[in-house]
Amino acid sequence: MTLLLLLSCTKDNPDSGLTEPWGVAGTDLGDAMLLSGWSDGELLRMVGGELGGGHGDLLTWNGTDLCVEHNVSDTTLWWIDGTPGGSYWMVGEQGTVVHSSGERRDVPTEMTLYGIDVEDENVWTVGGDPASGTGGIWRWNGTDWDEQLTSTVMFKVDQHADGTALFVGDGATWIYEDGYLTELPHEQRLVTVHEGMAVGGTASATVVEWSGSSWTESDALYLNGPLNGLYVGDKTWVAGNAGVMGYRGDDRWMIPDLPLTADTFHAVVEHDGMGWFLGGNFFNAGNNHGTIGIYGDLTIPDVSDCG
């Protein structure tokens, strides 16, 4: 399948004349939606699948080619993370955990694992069951998982070099500090956390920043609709429903002049100096497909099977 780069530009400043390289590198990518990505040196690894069952796929971009490994798991894979230049972990529906060695390290739960964070040997994963509104936090102890059940669905985790970690979910944040987990209830639906920021929302975009003990509301102007993806790198990137792509500029959020796709972006990651927005046709009937948005100059050739 040939993926053409469809370019669109927006002015950085209406009076500056500067244009920006927003684009979509494909809107009919395979039969699986893309749910997350992880930059591993020269490689970008992306996972996804069909919601509600089917299969989980792993896609790898090496700078010139994109290949796919089908059926890495028999359930949809929601998130990927790992140690740069080392191993990586993929998590998904029904407690699925797939290590890059091929070993299954599943959590004994029927819940969906929505996020995982890996710092050397320290591995946390989170998830939940939207139907019951309950969730869980799990920590790998080297052989299996230590469990903390929660009364809300948990979506993502972000840990830091000092051993602390933040876990965000629908109505609560959990904090790991000094060996203890504590809960901070709130009214926000936070779905992604990275480097002291979190995003989410229900009917509109929510952006918050961590003060050390609580969340402070931040500007979300121009970010229409709920946000799903966040990545803090050279730029602070966000992604969301109905093709929302953006980064934080000097005085406002920068977005394309018009949405470049009606598909939903579930995650965003910075790789090779570019923002990669990953998603698909979440809310449409019919077969699933993946969509990749780009902030940068890139053309993706045909997708092949990984050898």
pLDDT the model gives residue 52 = 67
CA distance 278 to 298: 15
pLDDT digit string, tens, across residues 194-243:
999 999 999 999 999 999 999 999 999 999 889 999 999 999 999 999 99
pTM of the entire predicted model = 0.93
pLDDT digit string, tens, across residues 157-198:
999 988 899 999 999 999 999 999 999 999 999 999 999 999
pLDDT the model gives residue 5 = 41
Q: Domain extents for the chain?
A: 6-305
Query: Cα separations (Å) of 34 from 2, 16, 47, 120, 263?
Result: 17, 35, 6, 25, 11
pLDDT the model gives residue 60 = 93
pLDDT the model gives residue 7 = 42
104: left (phi over 0), alpha (psi -120 to 50) or beta: beta
CA distance 29 to 23: 15
CA distance 97 to 118: 13
pLDDT in tens, the chain (307 residues): 333 344 444 444 444 445 899 999 877 777 789 999 999 999 999 999 887 667 899 999 999 988 899 889 999 999 999 998 889 999 999 999 999 999 999 999 999 999 999 998 899 999 999 999 999 999 999 999 999 999 999 999 999 988 899 999 999 999 999 999 999 999 999 999 999 999 999 999 999 999 999 999 999 999 988 999 999 999 999 999 999 999 999 999 999 999 999 999 999 999 999 999 999 988 776 678 889 999 998 877 678 888 7
Give domain 6-305's CATH number out of 2.130.10.10, 3.30.70.580, 3.40.50.300, 3.50.50.60. Answer: 2.130.10.10
